[in-house]
Structures are given as C-alpha cells and as structure tokens.
Amino acid sequence: FKPKLLVEKLRGKRLMFVGDSLNRNQWESMVCLVQSVVPPGKKALIKSGSLTIFKIQDYNVTVEFYWAPFLVESNSDDPKQHSILNRIIMPESIAKHAVHWKDVDYLIFNTYIWWMNTIQIKVLRGSFDKGATEYDEVERPEAYRRVMRTWSKWVDENIDPNRTKVYFSSMSPLHIKSLDWNNPNGVKCAKETTPILNTSLSFDVGTDKRLFLAAHNVSRATKRVPVSFLDITTLSEYRKDAHTSVYTIRQGMMITPEQQSDPDTFADCIHWCLPGLPDTWNEFLYTSIISRT
C-alpha cells in the first residue's frame, strides 16, 4: 500500500464510504493509511450531520463517510442518536440520503450489521414525514432484497459510469460464540490471539449468507452502471482475534476496567482493531483504484 501513490491518483476527487459502522471502520482505516503522507496543517476533518469529511488540502482530495446504516430511510438515521429499540425502515425510500452521494468519484456501499438484530424487519406503512407509525414485519432476506433493488435502481438512474466507480462491500462477520470455532472455554472473541488457522475446518460464525447472496446478485444485475463486489466475508470470518474486544468504546467513552473484566457483557466482537483487518479490505480497494486508467 503506497499512500502517496493513492493520494496522487485521487487528486481532485472524492472517495466516499456509505453505510453502517463497519463501513465507518473501513473509512477510519483509509484515513489512517493516507494521512501519514499529508503534512500537519494540510489536512482537516469536517463533520456535518451524517457526513464526515477528511480533506487533504494540497491535493483537493476528500475521503468521506456518510452514515446510512440501512442505505434507505429509517428511524435510526441520526448519526448520534440511533440506539433505538424498534428500528423501522422504508425500503423504497432512498432519495433523502442519496442526494449526498451525487458527484462522488468513488462510492463504497455496505449495509449488514443492523439487519442481524432481529429475524424479521419492521417495514413502515407510509412515510415518516407524514407521521406514519404502523409497520409490517417482513422476513429479513425479503426486506434486504427490497432495499438492494431500491439501491441498484438509484445507481442505474443517477450514476455517470464515466465519472463514478461504484463498489458494494460484502458482510463483515461477527465472532460472538466461541463454540463456533470449537473453543468451549472462550468468552465471545475476548482473549483470542490467533486467527482460525485450520482452513480445512468447516465452521459457521453466523453470517447470513442469504443476505450475501442478495447483495452479490443485485450488484451484478445493474443494467447501466458496473458495480464491483468487494468480497471481504470469508477472509474476515477467520479473524476471531482481530476485534476490538474489551478495548472498545461505548457511547463515545472507553469502557472502564470494571467493564473490561466482564467480556461476556462488554466485549465488542463486531468492530475491528486499527491497524488491523479493515486495512486489508482497503488494500482491495487500493488495488482497484490504482489499476484504473
């Protein structure tokens, strides 16, 4: 990974990650990777609502993150106040978010982790703007496919493929049950220090492959705009050791030593350490961007 080469390639361009906190994890990784070649005083971090922008001034480059955990409109779209018990989505409503994605040169989308909270997804009848509160409960894969169809339709109708390169990033796995990798004495991912090393071992860490298939198929089915599917799932499933675990934050604060001593409750086995695995994801992205003529 040559950050100076990437920054040169991105001169005058916008690179934006769109999605949930795992895409923010990858955005943080990318910022760390490129900022090392930018002198102090020549970079800035700007936050405005759902959009966070890292600006490299001498190159007129921005590396951005836009918070949209379901891609479509939901009642969890506030970037700070989204710890909501009953999360509700509008699977055919994407325009409010998508207005912020126009005129971006590289777009990297994801949506996954919040789909895993419930077996069924609450789908609003009507519109939040009109005060609707009633919803239907829809099976997770069907709701996900509806969102993906809405997203791909927007991509086809609004993206200029001569300017913008579009990526969709696959599912970032969780490691919350140590029995998944045959460690009956483990506590979630806490104290794991090595990856799953036996690559011939058949294991399942609970990734919803139905959503993976839906994302993969819809990404391939766009009619006018090519979408590159970044498959990060399998390689990440081996990395039970790479999560932030008890070295994590809650509500913007590092967890206390007392909380750290209770990994069963407080270990974060969703997000990833930096430096760490998201740097590998960004190497895929880097290779794709650098190889473009």
What is the set of active-site residues?
21, 268, 271
Cα separation, 35 vs 32, whole angstroms: 6
Quickly count: other Cβ atoms within 10 Å of residue 289's Cβ.
Answer: 19
For residue 190, what are the β-bridge partners? 187
Question: Residue 109, by phi and psi: left (phi above 0), alpha (psi -120 to 50) or beta?
Answer: beta
Cα separation, 88 vs 108, whole angstroms: 24
What size, in residues, is the chain? 293
CA distances from 223 to 127, 220, 265, 289 (A): 29, 9, 46, 22
Cα separation, 109 vs 228, whole angstroms: 10
Which residues lie below 8 Å from residue 26, measured CB to CB, with a gap of 6+?
17, 108, 169, 278, 281, 282
Which tokens sit at 71? 């891609």
Rg (CA), the chain: 19
